[in-house]
């Protein structure tokens, strides 16, 4: 269940990565508005990937 939620949230973050800087932050003239947002999205994506792949095991022994 956690894996499915993590992958769903990653999809939401991907859509937000395109929508927020071009729609919500379009009126912000400074470049660091989008940079901060994309940095936070990157960190959250890494955390969600760790949560989604935590249950994977190597059974090739």
**Model pTM score:** 0.72
Contact 25, 37 (CB under 8 A): yes
Arithmetic mean of pLDDT, 39-47: 93
The answer to whether residue 29 scores a pLDDT higher than 80 is: no
- Does residue 35 or residue 29 have the better pLDDT? 35
Alpha-carbon gap, residue 9 to 27, rounded angstroms:
26
pLDDT band at 40 (very low <50, low <70, confident <90, very high): very high
């Amino acid at each position: 269940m956690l894996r499915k939620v993590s992958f769903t949230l990653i999809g939401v973050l991907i859509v937000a990565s395109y929508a927020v800087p071009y729609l919500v932050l379009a009126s912000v003239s400074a470049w660091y508005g989008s940079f901060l947002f994309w940095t936070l999205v990157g960190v959250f994506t890494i955390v969600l990937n760790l949560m989604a792949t935590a249950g994977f095991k190597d059974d090739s022994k």
